Amino acid sequence: MLHVVAELEGNVTAIAYGLSAIGPGIGVGIVWAAYIQATARQPESAGLTRTYAFLGAALSEALALIGFVAPLVLT
Amino acid sequence: MIAAILAADSGKSSTILASDSGGRGEGYVPPTVEEFFPPPIFEFSFLGLDFEITRITIISWIAVAALIVFFYSAARRARIVPGKLQYAGESAYNLIRDGVGRDVIGKDAKPFIPYLATLFFFILFNNIMGIVPFAQISPSAKIAYPAFMALLTYLLYLGVGIKRHGFFPYFKGLIIVPGVPVYMHVLLIPIEFLSNVIARPFTLAIRLFANMFAGHLLLVVFSLGGAYLLVQPNISVIFSPLAFAVAIAMTFFEILVAALQAYVFTILTAVYLEESVAGGH
């Protein structure tokens, strides 16, 4: 016999997106932190590493983007 | 609608904390996805396809018209010593040519720079329409626009790769990581295939779409919230200016997002093209 202790009204996909954004949030933070650190240590490398920073951010952001569309697709 | 069942063991002393669904949202209607599907202004059929010209279509035409007028008038009377407008146009083009094209692709950048510059300014002008008064919705917030641009980029970099290296060598370079032990390929080939062939165009489109979509909804939520609080008969009316202030701050934030997303789309296109030119890994 199950007893309802707490009930939630609304759309569960909001929670799903929130969960899927945790990892990419940390990942994008690490990427830009590393880029800023690299630029601070060696300012002339800013143009060289900018591309890789965007590429790294885009790769980790992909997971959050999949989390964003999954609810739209699965409803 | 879900019911999260948190206690399943015993029946005694379990408290019911179910929220009352009837008690909220009396007058306030939150914005929905319907925001992005305005009624058509006129519609017609062509070759069996139904076309609907909506407000968003017209906004996109205005953005493109502004783009054409700007670059045409900047390049109309080109001089060796540029005037103000010509200088603005040249700096805008140089931003993409040097900052994206030559920095990322390198010496083979020349044939791709017109595409990159067109892509950047088309996305930028369309994104900026999200905060232009009376337009205030970006065509990029409809998935069709980013999806088609991502498809163009996808076909372009696949085409360039196949043309330069041949079909099989190019795909071998895309999915096989050189210099790893043979048994690692069992794991690496599916990952590389997913990330390089499937996820790239998908994320390229969704990134732009999601940013514009969420940005528009954010502005609508705060503006509607402010307007709703303003007509409240009780003390909560004092929070209305706060909601409007956030809406204005978010509008400025949207300028940043519009420019950044156009730049990200362009630089990722350039990175993918560079990989096609250089031959994958």
Query: B61: closest CA among B122, B5, B115, B117?
Result: B122
With a cut of 70, say whether residue B22 has pLDDT above it.
Answer: no
pLDDT the model gives residue A75: 66
Closest chain A C-alpha to B113 CA, distance in angstroms: 16
Query: How many other CB atoms are there within 10 angstroms of residue B17's CB atom?
Result: 11
The 10s digit of each residue's pLDDT in A54-75 is 888 888 888 888 888 877 777 6
Measured in degrees and rounded to the nearest 5, phi and psi for residue B2 equal -135, 160
**What is the Cα Rg of chain A in Å?**
19
* Cα–Cα dist A38/A32, whole Å: 10
Name the band, by pLDDT with cuts 50, 70 and 90, for residue B178. confident
* Cβ–Cβ gap B203/A7 under 8 Å: no
Closest chain B C-alpha to A14 CA, distance in angstroms: 11
The 10s digit of each residue's pLDDT in B71-129 is 999 988 888 888 888 999 999 999 999 989 888 888 888 899 999 999 999 999 999 99
With a cut of 80, say whether residue B1 has pLDDT above it.
Answer: no
User: Out of B14, B16, B267, whose CB is closest to A54?
Assistant: B267
Buried b (16+ CB within 10 A) or exposed e, A20-55: bbeebeebbeebeeebeebbeeeeeeeeeebbebbb
Q: Is A73 on the interface with B (CB under 8 A)?
A: no
| Mean pLDDT of the region B162-187 | 86
* Cβ–Cβ gap B6/A5 under 8 Å: yes
* Cβ–Cβ gap A7/B14 under 8 Å: no
Q: Is A47 on the interface with B (CB under 8 A)?
A: yes
Task: Note the ipTM here.
Answer: 0.77
Closest chain A C-alpha to B4 CA, distance in angstroms: 5
Q: What distance lies between CA B21 and its chain's CA centroid?
A: 35
Closest chain B C-alpha to A2 CA, distance in angstroms: 5
Q: Which residues of A touch B16 (CB under 8 A)?
A: 4-5, 7
Whole-number Cα distances in Å, A44 to A49, A54, B16, B95, B166: 10, 17, 62, 18, 37
Residues 4-43 of chain A whose Cβ lies under 8 A from any Cβ of chain B: 4-12
Residues whose CB is less than 8 angstroms from the CB of residue A51 and which lie 6 or more positions away in sequence, other chains included: B103, B104, B267, B270, B271
**Structure-block tokens of residue B94:** 């140089």
**Structure-block tokens of residue B143:** 């998935």
- Give the number of A-B residue pairs with CB atoms closer than 8 Å: 75
Report pTM: 0.83
Helix (H, G, I), strand (E, B) or coil at B109: coil
